[in-house]
Amino acid sequence: MIMQGKLIVGLDLPNVADAEKVVRELDGVVDFYKIGYRLVFGGGLEFARDLAAEGKKVFLDMKLLDIDNTVAEGVENIAMMGVSMLTLHAYPKAMRAAVAAAKGSDLCLLGVTVLTSMDEDDVREAGYADDPATLVRKRAAQAREAGMGGIVCSAAEAASVREILGNDMAIVTPGIRPAGAERGDQKRVMTPADALRAGATHLVVARPIIGAPDRRAAAQAILAEMQAA
């Protein structure tokens, strides 16, 4: 199925044993997985290497941000792990340092614009004068100028940032919820079909799949919806 490479299943699980079980259950249906903080601190980095060695695609969601040299050194080591995607916060200096460090590798660097758990009140409380949509567009432009591989944003902003990014950069959208699914702590959400129509290239789905009674069927249903779009 052509959509298989566009669906990224978030392994937001407490340990590697649980993550391995999900990967086994989804074998042949999904080949792209997100590993974030929770699993990273439960042995997830070695698991990421193992998945990559097995031919799976790995989206390492670390949201790096530090002084330029530290970001660059981290990216250099991550590029050698064989993972496909890596996130860092979309601060111009950090992005430029990461791009320089990843040069010559196949690592796709993604700038995280505004977290999908944040709305306008949250953004203003954090000290930004812009509303989320404006801030996303501003950071998308900075990511393009820095030479990043793409950005992470809400699907609600995908259409507007596609005009900024052109056709060559990835738009990865978390906060994807099939019709009728609970939002959880996400505030800016969209269905899989609508996200693709808006211009997203990759959809990150965690709870609607890993929390489903039949994970394989849940993933297949989302893929079918994506294919229909």
**Known binding positions for substrate:** 12, 34, 61-70, 116, 177, 186, 207
Tokens for 66, please give them. 């530090």
Per the annotation, where are the binding residues?
12, 34, 61-70, 116, 177, 186, 207
Q: What is the DSSP code string of 22-90?
A: HHHHTTTT--EEEE-HHHIIIIIHHHHHHHHHTT-EEEEEEEE-S-HHHHHHHHHHHHTTT-SEEEEE-
By annotation, the residues acting in catalysis are 63
Nearest one of 147, 188, 192 to 166, comparing CA atoms:
147
H or E, element range at 108: strand 108-112
Tell me which residue of 64, 139, 66 sits closest to 109, measured CA to CA: 64
Closest CA to 113 of 128, 98, 91, 145: 91
> What residues contact 36, with CB distance under 8 A and at least 6 apart?
10, 11, 12, 61, 62
DSSP state of 181: -
Question: SS3 for 182?
Answer: coil
In sequence order, what are the residues at sequence separation of 6 or more whose Cβ sits closer than 8 angstroms to the Cβ of residue 228?
193
Among residues 112, 134, 111, 110, which one has the least CA distance to residue 124?
Answer: 134
Give the containing element (helix H, strand E) for 197.
helix 192-198
